[in-house]
Amino acid sequence: MTPGLPRAEVVVDLDAVRHNVALLAGRATGAAVMTVVKADGYGHGAAPVARAALEAGASWLGVASLAEALALRAAGITAPVLSWLDLPGTDFSAGVGQGVDLSVSSEGELGRIAEAALRAGKRARVHLKIDTGLSRNGCPAYAWPELVKAASEETAVEVVAVWSHLACADEPGHPSIDDQARRFDTAYEIAREAGLEPLRHIANSAATLTRPDLHFDLVRPGIATYGLNPVPQPENLRPAMTFRSSVALTKRIEAGESVSYGHTWTAPRDTTLALVPVGYADGVPRTLSGRMSVWLGGSRRAVAGRVCMDQIVVDCGDDEPAVGAEVILFGPGTQGEPTAREWADTLGTIDYEIVTGMYRPRIERRYLQETP
């Protein structure tokens, strides 16, 4: 292949990330912004996104595991980082040593982290997580007073925050949101009565956009950072990810010839086909076979037949795209190209899953406007 022609390439527009973070910071007046960069920045690249977000007004970072937090530290990022889901056996002392904030959902976890703090010779910074109704991570209400008491008496830890996570914030007006907010208030009051003065945080992207009353000290937007809108009303967000490839080969076929495995598509007329070297091993779901189009030569063109492991075939009619021409699989949608949201809607999933699925060894990543 000619050097420089993208085969399977994700382009991440970091100015879009900056725009989105600035928008979120503007909404969250009075609260700091923790940009969530778990799952390698939702498939966009954790460290470059983190740097862009910190430039644009975020002051915290959030990740799902200590390994993700330590990768940010190894990349030279010194901002506060919270890691929220680690198993027993994790080397918490490395986290404490590197100043990573750790979430605590149980007394067992508190004990393991306190022990690690003693080994590290440094107090651990912890965020006590209350389960207010998501019934996933977090301490159940019945165990909360004991956890708070233990944390307030444990000199090896500093309680930085009390926090929780919402189940239905992407459905504004859902009654569970107010219900979770009430339980969160109760949990916070119990912490105060135990003599703690923690920060509070509960808002994901959807609540950052729709529930200013739940911003408290810190908001934790993830998906909106990447320009994908989790709420029904329009928001001025810019999708940061474009997935592109190039035409590898073109050919004419006659009416009646069939295309790709299983011959599920037959040309209704003589037509030109363009071969594009991306497939399901590169994040093009095979279940999009017969249901997807790409942006090629200034218009949308249908993908003919099945998505293969390494290739798709585009029906170009009587147009003949140049070998090497750009093919956009999805992007922000500004030119008319498909979007991650469109793929998700077709597949019956959410755009979160589409973009996080783009973290693959065969996909090259390129950054626009990267922080030097």
Ligand X SMILES: *Cc1c(COP(=O)(O)O)cnc(C)c1O
Of the pair 63, 314, the CB lying nearest ligand X is at: 63
* Alpha-carbon dihedral angle through residues 163, 167, 171, 176, given to the nearest 10 degrees: -90
How would you class 298 by CB atoms within 10 Å of its CB: exposed for 0-12, middle for 13-18, buried for 19 or more?
Answer: exposed
- Adjacent-strand bridge partners of 199: 161
The least CB distance from residue 291 to ligand X, in Å, is: 26
Of the pair 5, 199, the CB lying nearest ligand X is at: 199
84 forms part of the interface with ligand X (CB under 6 A): yes
CB contact at 8 A, 339 and 237: no
| Geometric angle at alpha carbon 23, from 27 and 63, rounded to 5° | 90
The least CB distance from residue 197 to ligand X, in Å, is: 22
- Cα separation of the two ends of the chain: 30
Tokens for 339, please give them: 């979007």
Of the pair 39, 117, the CB lying nearest ligand X is at: 39
Annotated catalytic residue, options 38, 226, 280, 352: 38
127 forms part of the interface with ligand X (CB under 6 A): no
Q: Is 108 left (phi over 0), alpha (psi -120 to 50) or beta?
A: alpha
Annotated catalytic residue, options 142, 261, 280, 367: 261
State the pairing for strand pair 241-246/326-330. Answer: antiparallel
The least CB distance from residue 148 to ligand X, in Å, is: 19
Of the pair 6, 227, the CB lying nearest ligand X is at: 227
* Alpha-carbon dihedral angle through residues 334, 340, 342, 345, given to the nearest 10 degrees: -150
> Residue 250 and residue 245: Cα distance in Å, rounded?
14
92 forms part of the interface with ligand X (CB under 6 A): no
The least CB distance from residue 221 to ligand X, in Å, is: 5
161 forms part of the interface with ligand X (CB under 6 A): no
Of the pair 34, 304, the CB lying nearest ligand X is at: 34
The least CB distance from residue 203 to ligand X, in Å, is: 8
State the number of binding residues for ligand X (CB under 6 A).
Answer: 11
The least CB distance from residue 38 to ligand X, in Å, is: 6
Active site residue 142: no
Site string for ligand X, 29-58 (x = CB under 6 A): -------x-x--------------------
- The verdict on whether residue 309 carries a ligand-binding annotation is yes
CB contact at 8 A, 320 and 279: no
> Residue 370 and residue 48: Cα distance in Å, rounded?
7
- Adjacent-strand bridge partners of 137: none
Q: In 3-state terms, what secondary structure has residue 107?
A: helix
> Residue 182 and residue 180: Cα distance in Å, rounded?
5
Active site residue 149: no
Please, which of residues 198-227 interact with ligand X by CB under 6 A? 204-205, 220-223
Of the pair 60, 84, the CB lying nearest ligand X is at: 84
Q: Which residues are annotated as a binding site?
A: 136, 309
Binding site for ligand X (CB under 6 A): 36, 38, 84, 165, 204-205, 220-223, 230
Give catalytic residue positions. Answer: 38, 261
Q: Which residues are annotated as a binding site for substrate?
A: 136, 309
